[in-house]
Copies of this chain bind each other. A is one copy, B any other.
């Protein structure tokens, strides 16, 4: 049950409301690691309270409730972080399409690879700028934030997709030349 651990992990940084947690999924986490919608998050938070992993620490305007981890929650998170198997089942539609490339004919495959190379390159560049911004305004001595780690990962993964697709494009071209 990774959603539960994702929520515990985010709350480890400090109290958050369901709404804020939902936002955090939307920027960064959902793109590379784990996606969840608010309709899944709110009920899960209730269950986690019932299970003693988190507790309500503040109630604000508009029914806002902030949650924080309990000692049990932190123990559960640590145990999961340190003992979970290295790889679990993966779901990634973009990668799936890369893998099914050979199901297309040559011109379609080329068109798709070109489109992917372009969109991944654009993303990589966007993240590269975003990283430069972050690095320009950190206070010295403080380590990278969550967002900085995520951006670094994102930059590298988009660059990888560009490189892989460029390589695959070359292989496909050679393939045709030899026929």
Chain A residues with CB under 8 Å of chain B are 2, 5-6, 8-10, 12-13, 28-35, 77-78, 81-82, 84, 86-104, 108, 111-112, 115-116, 119-120, 140-144, 146, 149-150, 152-153, 156-157, 160, 163-164, 167-168, 171-172, 174-175, 178-179
Bound-complex Cα distance A5 to B101 (A): 12
Bound-complex Cα distance A171 to B143 (A): 7
Bound-complex Cα distance A100 to B25 (A): 12
Q: Tell me how many chains of this kind the complex includes.
A: 2
Chain B residues near A84: list those with CB within 8 A: 93, 97
B92 touches A34 (CB 8 A): yes
Bound-complex Cα distance A87 to B2 (A): 21
Given A30-B89, A160-B160, A179-B141: A78 touches B104 (CB 8 Å cut-off): yes
Pick the contact of A32: B90, B111, B168 (CB < 8 A). B90
A153 touches B2 (CB 8 A): no
Bound-complex Cα distance A86 to B112 (A): 10
Chain B residues near A34: list those with CB within 8 A: 90-93, 95-96
Bound-complex Cα distance A28 to B152 (A): 26
A81 touches B93 (CB 8 A): no
